Structure 1
Amino acid sequence: MRSYRRHRLLVPVLLCALTVLAALPTTADGQPASGTVGDSDLSAEVVRLYEEAAVATQQYEAGRKEAEEQRAKAQRAEALLDAQRRHIAGLNEDLGRIARAQYRNSGGLPVAAQMILADSPDELMRGQHAFSQTNLAVSNAISKSRRAEARLAEDEVRAAAQWQVLEQRNTRLATLKESIERKLERARSQLQGQAEASVAAGACRGAVRLDQPETGFANAWVAPVETYELSASYGSGGSRWASRHTGQDFAVPIGTPVRAVGAGRVVRVSCGGAFGIEIVLKHAGGYYTQYAHLASVAVDQGEHVSPGQWIGQSGSTGNSTGPHLHFETRVTPEMGSAVDPVSWLEERGVPL
């Protein structure tokens, strides 16, 4: 945020209405496009696509990992097959050496001549038996290695085929993931356009009820968003703020569900000014939490909320340089009474 000073509304309500019309998709003849969704449907669509994109990403990453493992298996089978072929080649060389040695020792004579020239029949039989046994052992080793080679070749073909199937599936998953992300980006843009129109008019559109997930949190306190990157911190300085930053920023995409950090009551829902669309909750012990720069709200003023309940969706309304949630903890509902939100949450068992 650049400043927390409230600015007087500069845009008339009529201009706000024109802004809303301009934000709606149109056809070639300038008429509103068919299938344009309302506030409630659009917020729900963003949440649905947000979840679908997360699931598609998980499936794609799991498939990619599985394909890598299968490819590694195929490569291992190929390496084993190459080693087996080298082993068989070595055995064939051994068999050739045995044959050549037998020929040299016997002089290439027929068995009858060898028997005549031998010093004794026993000597001849021992020599012939030794060569025969060696020849048989090498031949058996070659046959066994051939069978192993055939099995390895089958494993290699099977692993390569499975890898190809996984690669094709991952290509389809990647296409689906990209399609969902494109739809989500368009829906986020429309949601932000509606939010900016509300801020320009200085009037919120009202609570947009979202299907709440099953929470079941063991802790009474939670982080305001489920997944995030911390950006501007409490007390940091810069040209964007009049003095010092009074909250903790969570860098999240537009439409990210924003959660109540604890049980409390909604004491403010407002649109316009530096904070854009904002919600303020009152908690036990006299503390307050603020959620600013929202794209939509899912609660009404005076409503009681539970830990982890979705109270709105993040955006980039008001004095904001990009999509994020500005989160504050205060000792009063008004600005100027902020305390360090990171330390405050850590004291309640929520490290950020």
Structure 2
Amino acid sequence: MDYYKALGVEKNASETEIKKAYRKLAQQCHPDKGEGGDEKKFKEVTEAYEILGDKQKRAQYDQFGSVDKGGGGSGFGGFEGFDFGGFQNVNFDFGGNFGDIFDTFFGGGGAKGKQARESRGSDIEIVIQLDFEEAVSGTTKEVNLSRYESCTHCEGKGNEPGSKMVTCNDCQGTGQKVKIQRTPLGQIQTSAVCSTCGGNGKTPEKKCTTCRGEGRILKDGIIKIKIPIGIHDKAVLRLTGKGEAGMQGASHGDLFVHISITPSKTFERIKDDIHTTQHVHVLQAVLGDEIKVKTIYDETILKIPQGTESGKVFRLRGKGVTRVGSSEKGDHYVKIIVDIPEKLSKKERELYGELIKESGLKITPQNKSIFG
């Protein structure tokens, strides 16, 4: 089976495109839909997603055209059936821990413990768009997610209530499938998660009539996500256990929330500091003044001393963004822009003339239109 064709995507499809295609097909052909369901097609798209939705398995599939569907697989799957007889008398000196070499080659397929073997649910990645104000103040967003959730009918176990879980026939209760491979080192035995029981070693004696033995069902639901105060653009929130449910009671995956913040037209944020510009009249700059400055919290008074030059920056302590996970705040920096009048009234011209005489300067205006 061509997994890419099964999902209807190109070989260079992104992770997002693959996940989107799978969710659409899974909803269309899920057996629970009755007449519109297609159990065979559902199994095909599920198998395809289990491979293409996993980076390691997808890379192996792209390289060798096949993959051990149990997961935790071997990087040498392509050597099966190849004769390495010419290497039989070659000595390989690794100069290190032999077990570590195999862990590297075979992805730690021999991990011990039930939790390490079980088919953990997939992680989910989403993007949330925030306004500048929402990022500064924090908020709670509601997101509609389509994901696998534990089946309430069988409590995620996969068996019909009242029936038992029995030893998996494919792995004999070990939760692992053993695979023999021939490599330059000779024959090597590796193990991977059993795809039949999801690694827990047991299968339903009678499958749950709601989830058909998977212990999970595809649902659309709303999840509330709390956005912390002061979060930064491109930050990633990890919600442990909020991803998809695993098969037959295996642990949930995680939900990764990527934050995208729409810039403000008024405020520029640099780390936890706020930067703005404030225009003042030339007379305010010369004589000094008290002006109102808008911050992200309120309006505050800024004292402009006499003789302030254009480009001068003033600092408002503690008026910046609250640091994530802290009560401390950044600062607000105000850059002064002195506005020079383009035209003067007759009265203003006379007054500026008096100032010129008082200063003793000899000035020849280059643009006489400034005088009216």
Q: Same fold (TM over 0.5)?
A: no
**Structure-2-length-normalised TM-score:** 0.19
Q: Larger helix proportion, structure 1 or 2?
A: 1
By percentage of residues, which structure has more strand? 2
Larger Rg: 1
User: Normalising by the residue count of structure 1, what TM-score does the alignment of the two structures yield?
Assistant: 0.19
